[in-house]
Every structure is written in structure tokens, then in C-alpha cells.
């Protein structure tokens, strides 16, 4: 009998699949399509570890399942090669980024190929190739032409370690996403002129459609909070003895009568005009101190600080004079950068008022309880608010906004927390922003026929921290001529962040070799929306950017779809055996190649990765897991080989017990795969194999027709999880076609139904016994069985039941 040896069969099948282009697909209108793909990996220097393999195994299992079911299935792989991680790695190791990237990609590809992933490798690309980033530059041009790319000076997050700016989405709890451990510094903002994509134009549309997505709720909630829609009122406060005014944004216009002071952010451009000469020195000192603090620190700090500006504002509802303070708990970048402070009803204002002994006034009382505390942040009924007393908070907000609006002093306003997406980086390793600065014409887009603007080779790619890329030092690259007038001009020296490369790669997979377009819209429309997008990372950055970009495409007439991803499948993490996070630096990762090459093979590793826990839960690695999966696969192997060695296989004898095992297994595995319950699908197959061994021990392989169906179906059900062993067994069972494209096995209902259920039996609501009936038994059969119980008959004592209540799958209650 042939022995199960993954080390020989796995590479053999990988080679055959590649040669026969088994997983390469084209558009095919005769079939339903499935586009299932994992998030684009960044090819790090350390390769994939067994934690990463989970995501790829899940993707491949789903793709294979639908392929077997007859769907035209696209699953793909490419490389997120540009950007900070690759460049930081190159700097650390002293290897130029193009060299290290190629090397890393080669190893990733070797690992994924050896794992037997069914990608259409003919669609592979890496985002640092000129043939790819030419179109990343086209994406920039598209944004620019549509008024969605602009350069502006704003306060920007700056990482001292990366020497570049960061997008808001790349800030992790106050630190740089590449430097986010507790000993890394908190980051600060610098005023810098940068390129932005105007995602805020789409904030409302993206927000509105978020609830309709078949995505995990936690990701949808994070996106909604990130967009941060807030409805409120902008109110104008005149500044006393001046013709200046101070606008504030408030969500609680109903507390206007409770304002006892005003606060302006230290970075507000208005501050300079408001501050009086006596207070100027003190204010300046405070502003300098505030600039040293990070925004996160400013918001977290319980200890409120501030200084008086010397000026007063007039409350438009009652003409009261309110002192204007400068305090860093108010942020320059939100709303109007100034607030009316209502210490009776806002926590932060209350803390500030306590610190500086400012008056606290109640203007809202709770509807039910008495107002006992100084601070009440809820809604209720207006008090101390003149003619508005007694109004509910909601009515009051509406009324006061109307009344003030009539005098030109207020307007309804919707604010968003989300900011435009900062896409330029003062780095080397990225797609150059395709802009030329002309003294006469300003910023001019590089014409499309001159793309790509190639990234020149440089000797030194280490950023110097002087607010510009090293590209600024490459004279003959920077100096060019203006596309409009031909006069000497300079290239933009910033490059685009890696996240721009990955906003459009999912489209590129649908048409990867197009040299005339980023992609053919007709091809992308065929494959879109993505049916399954698999990942365990990114909640707001990448997953918001692709939604934004999709809408831009739709508006530009380049797509029929407004959402890119139908289902987002977010997998849990695999931690190290001790429960800590897997990371190369801690030395607690396992290279999948090591497991595969030690003889267990890719199939056993894949099966274990899916068996270990429900896919969306975090779990810990377990050394004994792969050997266990290997033993299961070996049992499948041995049983099939024994069957093949047994006599007269052509017989058409049936074995009803074997049939039941087979059909039930198919039914359960099919259902489990449809609901992505991989671990239960595997345990179903394990228990089916156990039952088959028991039947074989008693009856040998009698009923060979049934045995053949059972073992073929087992190979087919196993194929999405363990593609190599199932292919080998499928061929051994006499098939020519690959198990992966042949068909998904079907089951017959009649074999599924003799399952039994247990029902409690009551007489007049008291438990008197239990019956076991066929799951599909009729209500009449159930009543009869219940009445036949000895104990029930004793309690009935010849009385006729008045009625019999049956609660499905639970109980029968006989009422007398
Ligand atoms: C008066 C007031 C009274 C407020 C009250 C709240 C409660 P959202 O949009 O939900 O975050 N605010 C406005 N701009 C600010 C800034 N730049 N920095 C810090 N705080 C700012 O909440 C908006 C509320 O946050 C606004 O409503 C304002 O305080 C504050 F009982 O105005 B409120
Ligand atoms: Zn950094």
C-alpha cells in the first residue's frame, strides 16, 4: 500500500496545477463569479509566520469551495512593495529598497506557493514596478482633475523617527504606526505644505452606506466613529469693544444661557487679534508650552490649564460679557477652534471652571429626578433660560437656532471628525507625485503620455528630516521644463504614501497587464464587487480609502459600483503558545516552511490552522496541533488505499450505513463552508472517518458502491482544506479531472432524516417523562408516543386529555 508522504505529493501537484494553469481565470458570462482575495501583503524581511498563514488558508479554502461548486473564481496575490515599512527595513539592513524588496517577495512567494494556494499567479504584480506605479500616478491625476487632490499648509503629524509626515489614520494612540511601542515618542504636529486627497467630500456618502455593508459590526462602528458626524449649531459671539467676532461650534445650543466663559485653542489664528497687550506675554508663553504637547495628551489630561486672553465676548442670547480664555483642551483643528464653555453641563468645562474658580450655572434640569449635582450632562428641560424655560432640550435647540439665525447669529452645522487624507511623504521609496512646479503656471500635472515619472536610483535614501525627500537633492531629476510653457520648472519631490498604491490594486487584479489603462472598467465591473475580502488588520485607513476611491471611480463613470467590498471577513489572531503576540523580534514565531519540510506537509498545517478555533476568534498556537491534523489526514489516506486494495470494486452493492455517513457529512460540510465555520466542517469529517473505520471493522468494505461514493465525497469535501492529499486520492480513485474543478458532491435528503430528538413530556405542566422520536416525526406520532409512556398513563388514570400542547423540539404537555 502507498504510504502518505506529503513531501513528494505536494510539490508534484503544485507543479502540475501550475503547468495546467488550473487556477487561471478569465471573464466568463456563462458562470457566476466569485472574487475572493486577501489583503495585499507587505513583503517584510522576515517572511510569513504561522499566524499569517491563517488568513491565507481561510481565503484559499473559501475560493476552492466556490471553484468546486462551479463558480468562476478569482483569487489573487500581489505585493505592497512601496512605502515606509520597506524603506525603513532597507535603511536598517543597509540594502537598497529595490533589492531587499525583490528578495523578500521571492521568499513570500516561495512560502505561499509551497502552501498550495490557488492564486491566479498570472495576475501577480508589485506596486513598486513602473508598470504599476504609472497608474498610481494616474490615480493621482484623476483625483487632481476632479478637484480632489490639493496642496495646502496645515498642521501635520510628524514622526521624528521616520522623518516624515503621517496621515491621521497612521497615528496609533498618539504614536507613529511604525513606531508604536511604549518607548517610542509621542508624536507632534508641524505646519507643513502637503498634498491631500479630499476624502471629506465623500464622508457623508460613505457614512450613509456603512450600515448596509456585510462587514463585522466592530469595523463598521470604528469607521462611523472615525468619520465622526456631529450635528450642531455655529453661534456668533461678538467681541466686546471691537468689531471682531468669535464663532463657536456647539452640539448643545440649548445650554447657551449657561455659558460662563469662552475658550479658544492656543493654535487658533484668531488668537493674535483677540489677546490684549497686558496679557500678550503670558499668552505667548502658554502657546509655546502647548505646542510641545501631543493632541492625545492634551485631550487626556484631567488637569486643565489655560490663561486669560484679556478680551470678552458677548453672549448673543442675553448680552452677558464672558471672559475669553486660551486653553489647550480645545483643539485648533475641530469645529471653529473655539467654544462657549458651559461648566454646568460639560465635563471638561466643569473641570476648567473648578481649576480657575469660574462661575457654574445650571440651565438644564433632568425631567425625572431633582437636580442635585453641579454637573449634569444629560438632556432635560430648560431652566434659567428666560422665555425658553420649560422647553425640552431638543425643542430648545431648534428654537434658539431659528431665533439666532433670524438675526444672522447662528446656523445649523454638520461637522465631521475625519480630515482630508494626507498622501505626500518626504521619503524616497514611493511613487513620485506627478506634478511639476512652474514659476509661471504653478503646479502643473505631468501629462499622461509622460507617465510614469520614474523614481530615479539614488545612492543615499536616508531622509534628512529637513521637511523634504532626498529626491530634492537629485538635481538633474528635479530640474525639468513646464509642460505648459516649456520654461524651466521643478518636479515635485514628495512621493505618495504606500496606502495610495493599495487603494486601487483590487481593480488592477482584474486587468493586471493593461498597458493603456489602469484597468478596463468593463473587466473590473465583471469581477466587482469583491465577494470576500479577507484580513485581520486595518479598520479605518485602507478600508476607508478603498471605499472613497470606489466612489470617485463611480462618479467619474469608471465603475458601476459604489462599494468595493461586499463581505469583509476579519480573522482573529493566532498568538504564540504562551498567549503573547507572535513577532519575529520576540523569537516566538514559527516559519511554515519548517513545519512543511519536516514532513508534516502543507495540508496538515492548513487543516490545523482552520481547525484551531472559529476563524474570527483569537487563539494560541499549539505545537501538537499539526501532528494531530497529520494523523487525521493519514487515516483518510489509509482508509482510501485499503478500499482500493479490496476486491471487486465495480460492484454496485449498497451499504446504507455508509451512505448515511457520507450524505450527512456532505450536508454538514457544505453548510459549514457556506457559513465559514471551518473548524466544525473539519470535525465533521473527522467523525465521519471514525464512523467509517467502525463500519469497516465490522463489515469490511461490503457495499462497495456506497464505499466508493463515501470516499470520493470525502476527498471532495477535504479538497478546499487539504488540496494536495485530496487531489492524489481523487486520482487514485480513478478520476482524470482535478478534484478542484470537478464538482462539489451532492447529498440526498432521505439519508439525513433518521436523526432523533428528545422531548420532555408533562402532565398538567409537571414533568413526567421523556420520549425520543424521529426528528421528522409528525405531531400525531409524537402525541401517541407521549401518551404511551408508563408514567404518563399512571398520572392520567383513565381520564381523557382535554388538549395536548406540543412545543416544537422541546416538550409535550398533556392537559387533563
Ligand atoms: C457647549 C456645550 C455644552 C458643549 C455642553 C457640549 C456640552 P462633538 O462634535 O460631538 O465632538 N467642542 C467644539 N469644538 C471643539 C474643539 N475645537 N475642541 C474641543 N472641544 C470642542 O462635540 C462638540 C462639542 O465639543 C461642542 O459642544 C463643544 O462643546 C465642544 F453641555 O458646546 B459644546
Ligand atoms: Zn515613524
DSSP letter string over 327-359? Answer: ETTS-TTSTTSEEEE-TTT-HHHHHHHHHTT--
Q: Which of 24-33, 643-652, 702-711 has the lowest mean pLDDT?
A: 643-652
Residue 19 has pLDDT above 90, yes or no: yes
Structure confidence by residue, pLDDT tens digits, 596-617: 999 999 999 999 999 999 999 9
User: 249 CA distance to ligand 1 centroid (A)?
Assistant: 7
Structure confidence by residue, pLDDT tens digits, 325-370: 999 999 988 899 999 999 999 999 999 999 999 999 999 999 887 6
Closest Cα to atom 9 of ligand 1 = 230
pLDDT-derived band at 778 (thresholds 50, 70, 90) equals confident
Which 3 state secondary structure label does DSSP give 757? strand
pTM for the complete prediction? 0.86
The reported pLDDT for the residue numbered 650 is 67
For the purposes of burial, counting CB atoms within 10 Å of the CB of 88, is it exposed (0-12), middle (13-18) or buried (19 or more)? middle
Please work out whether the CB of residue 251 comes within 6 Å of at least one atom of ligand 1. yes
DSSP character string of 260-293: -EEEE-TT-TTHHHHS-HHHHHHHHHHHHHHHTS
Q: Which of 91-100, 520-529, 630-639 has the lowest mean pLDDT?
A: 91-100
The reported pLDDT for the residue numbered 85 is 80
**Is the preceding peptide bond at 452 cis, omega within 30 degrees of 0?**
yes
Grid coordinates 450527512 are at which residue? 664
User: 413 CA distance to ligand 2 centroid (A)?
Assistant: 36
pLDDT-derived band at 79 (thresholds 50, 70, 90) equals very high
**Contact status, residue 294 vs residue 233, Cβ threshold 8 Å:** no
Structure confidence by residue, pLDDT tens digits, 434-458: 999 999 999 999 999 999 999 999 8
The reported pLDDT for the residue numbered 776 is 67
Which atom belonging to ligand 1 lies closest to the Cα atom of 364? 31
User: 560 CA distance to ligand 1 centroid (A)?
Assistant: 39
Using CA atoms, how far apart are residues 572 and 615, in angstroms rounded to an integer? 6
For the purposes of burial, counting CB atoms within 10 Å of the CB of 575, is it exposed (0-12), middle (13-18) or buried (19 or more)? middle
Which 3 state secondary structure label does DSSP give 574? strand
Please work out whether the CB of residue 80 comes within 6 Å of at least one atom of ligand 1. no
Residue 774 has pLDDT above 80, yes or no: no
Structure confidence by residue, pLDDT tens digits, 55-76: 999 999 999 999 999 999 999 9
Ligand nearest to the CA of 415: 1
Structure confidence by residue, pLDDT tens digits, 213-260: 999 999 999 999 999 999 999 999 999 999 999 999 999 999 999 999
Q: Which residues pair with 248 in a beta bridge?
A: 235
Residue 639 has pLDDT above 80, yes or no: yes
User: 542 CA distance to ligand 1 centroid (A)?
Assistant: 29
Residue % of the chain over a pLDDT of 90: 79
For the purposes of burial, counting CB atoms within 10 Å of the CB of 429, is it exposed (0-12), middle (13-18) or buried (19 or more)? buried
DSSP H or E run through 114: helix 97-114
- Which phi-psi region, left, alpha or beta, contains residue 765 (left: φ > 0; alpha: ψ -120 to 50)? left
Identify the DSSP state of 196.
E
Taking alpha carbons only, the member of 752, 641, 647 closest to residue 702 is 647
Which segments within 27-126 are labelled E, that is strand?
A: 33-38, 72-74
Please work out whether the CB of residue 415 comes within 6 Å of at least one atom of ligand 1. yes
Q: Which of 18-32, 300-314, 461-475 has the lowest mean pLDDT?
A: 461-475
Residues with CB in 5 Å of ion ligand 2: 159, 161-162, 176, 178-179
User: 67 CA distance to ligand 2 centroid (A)?
Assistant: 42
Q: Would you tell me how many other CB atoms lie within 10 Å of the CB of residue 439?
A: 11
The reported pLDDT for the residue numbered 88 is 83
Taking alpha carbons only, the member of 149, 132, 166 closest to residue 201 is 149
Q: Would you tell me how many other CB atoms lie within 10 Å of the CB of residue 210?
A: 18
Closest Cα to atom 21 of ligand 1 = 330
The reported pLDDT for the residue numbered 186 is 84
Report strand pairing: 338-341 vs 261-264.
antiparallel
Q: Summarize the confidence of residues 261-269 as an average pLDDT.
A: 96
**Contact status, residue 437 vs residue 490, Cβ threshold 8 Å:** yes
pLDDT-derived band at 295 (thresholds 50, 70, 90) equals confident
Question: What dihedral do alpha carbons 673, 752, 725, 609 form, nearest 10°?
Answer: 40
The reported pLDDT for the residue numbered 167 is 87
Residue 649 has pLDDT above 80, yes or no: no
User: 632 CA distance to ligand 1 centroid (A)?
Assistant: 60
**Contact status, residue 341 vs residue 347, Cβ threshold 8 Å:** no
Closest Cα to atom 14 of ligand 1 = 335
Taking alpha carbons only, the member of 770, 775, 743 closest to residue 759 is 770
CA dist list (Å): 658 to 650, 692, 733: 17, 7, 17
Closest Cα to atom 28 of ligand 1 = 250
pLDDT-derived band at 545 (thresholds 50, 70, 90) equals very high
Closest Cα to atom 32 of ligand 1 = 250
Which atom belonging to ligand 1 lies closest to the Cα atom of 329? 19
Please work out whether the CB of residue 121 comes within 6 Å of at least one atom of ligand 1. no
User: 348 CA distance to ligand 1 centroid (A)?
Assistant: 9
Ligand nearest to the CA of 315: 1
Q: Summarize the confidence of residues 795-810 as an average pLDDT.
A: 88
Which 3 state secondary structure label does DSSP give 64? helix
pLDDT-derived band at 644 (thresholds 50, 70, 90) equals very high
Using CA atoms, how far apart are residues 813 and 807, in angstroms rounded to an integer? 8
Phi, then psi, of 699 in degrees rounded to 5: -120, 5
Please work out whether the CB of residue 155 comes within 6 Å of at least one atom of ligand 1. no
Half-sphere exposure of 773 (CA within 13 A, CB side): 24
Please work out whether the CB of residue 234 comes within 6 Å of at least one atom of ligand 1. no
The reported pLDDT for the residue numbered 269 is 92
Which of 335, 340, 349 should be mutated for ligand 1, with most atoms under 8 A from CB?
335
Which segments within 381-506 are labelled E, that is strand?
A: 381-382, 410-415, 421-422, 424-425, 435-438, 442-445, 479-481, 488-491, 495-496
Please work out whether the CB of residue 337 comes within 6 Å of at least one atom of ligand 1. yes
Which of the listed ranges 384-393, 530-539, 586-595 does the model predict with the highest average pLDDT?
384-393
Which atom belonging to ligand 1 lies closest to the Cα atom of 333? 17
Q: Which of 24-28, 298-302, 741-745 has the lowest mean pLDDT?
A: 298-302
The reported pLDDT for the residue numbered 603 is 98
User: 357 CA distance to ligand 1 centroid (A)?
Assistant: 21
The reported pLDDT for the residue numbered 496 is 97
The reported pLDDT for the residue numbered 715 is 98
Residue 754 has pLDDT above 70, yes or no: no
Ligand nearest to the CA of 463: 2
Taking alpha carbons only, the member of 730, 724, 601 closest to residue 17 is 724
Q: Which residues contact 708 (CB under 8 A, 6 or more apart)?
A: 643, 649, 733
Long-range pairs for 237-240: beta carbons < 8 A, 24 or more residues apart: 237/262, 237/313, 237/314, 237/315, 237/316, 237/322, 237/340, 238/313, 238/314, 238/316, 239/274, 239/311, 239/312, 239/313, 239/314, 239/324, 240/311, 240/312, 240/313, 240/314, 240/321
Half-sphere exposure of 394 (CA within 13 A, CB side): 1
Q: Mean pLDDT score of the chain, rounded to an integer? A: 93
- The distance between the two most distant Cα atoms of the chain, rounded to a whole number of Å, is 111
Using CA atoms, how far apart are residues 335 and 338, in angstroms rounded to an integer? 8
Ligand nearest to the CA of 364: 1
Ligand nearest to the CA of 262: 1
CA 740 to chain centre: 29
Please work out whether the CB of residue 702 comes within 6 Å of at least one atom of ligand 1. no
Using CA atoms, how far apart are residues 192 and 52, in angstroms rounded to an integer? 37
Q: Summarize the confidence of residues 627-637 as an average pLDDT.
A: 98
DSSP character string of 640-672: HHHHHHSS-TT-----HHHHHHHHHHHHHHHHH
User: 250 CA distance to ligand 1 centroid (A)?
Assistant: 5
Which atom belonging to ligand 1 lies closest to the Cα atom of 249? 13
Taking alpha carbons only, the member of 387, 412, 378, 382 closest to residue 398 is 412
Which 3 state secondary structure label does DSSP give 600? helix
Half-sphere exposure of 20 (CA within 13 A, CB side): 12
Amino acid at each position: 500500500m502507498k504510504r502518505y508522504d506529503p513531501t513528494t505529493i505536494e510539490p508534484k501537484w503544485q507543479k502540475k496545477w501550475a503547468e495546467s494553469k488550473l487556477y487561471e481565470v478569465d471573464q466568463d458570462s456563462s458562470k457566476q463569479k466569485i472574487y475572493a482575495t486577501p489583503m495585499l501583503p507587505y513583503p517584510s524581511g522576515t517572511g510569513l509566520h504561522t499566524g499569517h498563514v491563517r488568513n491565507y488558508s481561510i481565503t484559499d479554502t473559501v475560493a476552492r469551495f466556490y471553484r468546486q461548486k462551479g463558480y468562476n473564481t478569482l483569487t489573487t496575490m500581489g505585493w505592497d512593495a512601496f512605502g515606509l515599512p520597506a524603506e525603513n527595513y532597507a535603511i536598517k539592513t543597509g540594502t537598497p529598497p529595490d533589492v531587499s524588496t525583490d528578495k523578500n517577495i521571492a521568499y513570500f512567494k516561495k512560502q505561499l506557493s509551497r502552501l498550495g494556494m490557488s492564486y491566479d499567479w498570472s495576475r501577480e504584480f508589485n506596486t513598486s514596478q513602473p508598470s504599476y506605479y504609472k497608474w498610481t500616478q494616474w490615480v493621482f491625476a484623476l483625483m487632481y482633475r476632479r478637484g480632489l487632490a490639493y496642496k495646502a499648509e496645515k498642521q501635520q503629524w510628524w514622526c521624528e523617527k521616520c522623518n516624515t509626515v503621517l496621515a491621521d489614520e497612521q497615528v496609533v494612540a498618539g504614536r507613529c504606526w511604525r513606531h508604536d511601542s511604549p518607548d517610542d515618542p509621542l508624536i507632534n504636529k508641524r505646519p507643513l505644505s502637503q498634498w491631500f486627497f479630499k476624502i471629506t467630500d465623500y464622508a457623508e456618502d460613505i457614512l450613509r452606506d456603512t450600515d448596509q455593508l456585510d462587514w463585522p459590526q466592530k469595523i463598521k462602528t470604528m469607521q462611523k466613529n472615525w468619520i465622526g458626524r456631529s450635528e450642531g449649531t455655529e453661534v456668533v459671539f461678538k467681541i466686546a469693544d471691537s468689531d471682531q467676532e468669535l464663532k463657536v461650534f456647539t452640539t448643545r445650543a440649548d445650554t447657551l444661557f449657561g455659558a460662563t466663559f469662552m475658550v479658544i485653542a492656543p493654535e487658533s489664528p484668531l488668537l493674535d487679534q483677540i489677546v490684549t497687550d497686558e496679557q500678550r506675554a503670558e499668552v505667548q508663553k502658554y502657546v509655546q508650552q502647548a505646542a510641545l504637547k501631543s493632541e492625545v495628551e492634551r485631550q487626556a489630561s484631567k488637569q486643565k490649564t489655560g490663561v486669560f486672553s484679556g478680551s470678552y465676548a458677548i453672549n448673543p442670547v442675553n448680552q452677558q460679557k464672558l471672559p475669553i480664555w486660551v486653553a489647550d483642551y480645545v483643539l485648533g483643528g475641530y469645529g471653529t477652534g473655539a467654544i462657549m464653555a458651559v461648566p454646568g453641563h460639560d465635563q471638561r468645562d466643569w473641570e476648567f471652571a473648578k481649576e480657575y474658580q469660574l462661575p457654574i450655572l445650571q440651565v438644564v434640569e433632568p425631567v425625572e429626578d431633582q437636580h442635585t449635582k453641579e454637573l449634569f450632562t444629560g438632556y432635560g428641560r430648560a431652566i434659567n433660560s428666560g422665555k425658553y424655560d420649560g422647553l425640552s432640550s431638543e425643542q430648545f435647540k431648534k428654537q434658539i437656532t431659528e431665533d439666532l439665525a433670524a438675526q444672522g447669529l447662528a446656523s445649523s452645522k454638520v461637522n465631521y471628525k475625519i480630515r482630508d487624507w494626507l498622501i505626500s511623504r518626504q521619503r524616497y521609496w514611493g511613487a513620485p507625485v506627478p506634478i511639476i512646479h512652474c514659476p509661471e503656471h504653478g503646479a502643473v500635472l505631468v501629462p499622461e503620455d509622460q507617465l510614469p515619472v520614474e523614481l530615479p536610483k539614488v545612492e543615499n535614501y536616508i531622509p534628512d528630516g529637513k521637511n523634504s525627500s532626498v529626491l530634492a537633492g537629485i538635481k538633474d531629476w528635479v530640474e525639468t521644463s513646464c509642460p505648459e510653457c516649456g520654461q524651466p520648472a521643478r518636479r515635485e519631490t514628495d512621493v505618495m504614501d504606500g496606502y495610495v498604491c493599495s487603494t486601487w490594486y483590487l481593480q488592477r487584479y482584474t486587468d493586471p497587464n493593461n498597458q493603456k489603462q489602469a484597468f478596463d472598467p468593463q473587466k473590473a465591473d465583471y469581477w466587482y464587487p469583491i465577494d470576500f475580502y479577507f484580513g485581520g488588520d486595518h479598520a479605518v485607513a485602507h478600508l476607508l480609502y478603498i471605499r472613497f476611491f470606489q466612489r470617485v471611480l463611480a462618479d467619474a463613470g469608471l465603475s458601476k459600483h459604489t462599494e468595493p467590498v461586499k463581505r469583509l471577513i476579519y480573522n482573529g489572531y493566532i498568538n504564540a503558545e504562551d498567549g503573547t503576540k507572535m513577532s519575529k523580534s520576540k523569537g516566538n514565531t514559527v516559519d511554515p516552511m519548517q513545519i512543511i519540510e519536516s514532513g508534516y506537509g502543507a495540508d496538515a498545517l492548513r487543516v490545523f490552522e482552520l481547525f484551531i478555533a472559529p476563524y474570527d476568534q483569537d487563539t494560541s498556537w499549539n505545537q501538537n496541533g499539526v501532528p494531530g491534523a497529520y494523523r487525521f489526514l493519514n487515516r483518510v489516506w489509509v482508509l482510501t488505499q485499503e478500499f482500493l486494495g479490496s476486491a471487486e470494486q465495480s460492484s454496485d452493492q449498497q451499504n446504507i450505513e455508509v451512505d448515511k455517513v457520507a450524505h450527512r457529512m456532505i450536508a454538514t460540510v457544505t453548510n459549514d463552508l457556506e457559513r465559514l465555520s471551518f473548524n466544525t466542517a473539519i470535525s465533521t469529517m473527522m467523525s465521519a472517518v471514525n464512523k467509517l473505520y467502525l463500519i469497516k471493522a465490522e463489515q469490511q468494505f461490503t457495499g462497495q458502491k456506497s464505499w466508493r461514493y463515501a470516499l470520493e465525497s470525502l476527498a471532495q469535501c477535504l479538497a478546499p482544506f487539504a488540496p494536495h492529499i485530496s487531489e492524489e486520492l481523487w486520482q487514485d480513485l480513478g478520476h482524470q479531472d482535478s478534484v478542484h474543478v470537478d464538482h462539489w458532491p451532492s447529498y440526498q435528503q432521505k439519508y439525513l432524516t433518521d436523526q432523533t430528538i428528545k422531548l420532555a413530556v408533562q402532565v398538567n405542566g409537571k414533568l413526567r417523562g421523556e420520549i425520543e422520536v424521529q426528528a421528522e416525526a409528525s405531531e400525531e406520532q409524537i402525541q401517541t408516543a407521549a401518551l404511551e409512556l408508563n408514567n404518563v398513563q399512571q398520572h392520567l388514570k383513565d381520564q381523557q386529555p382535554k388538549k395536548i400542547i406540543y412545543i416544537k423540539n422541546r416538550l409535550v404537555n398533556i392537559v387533563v
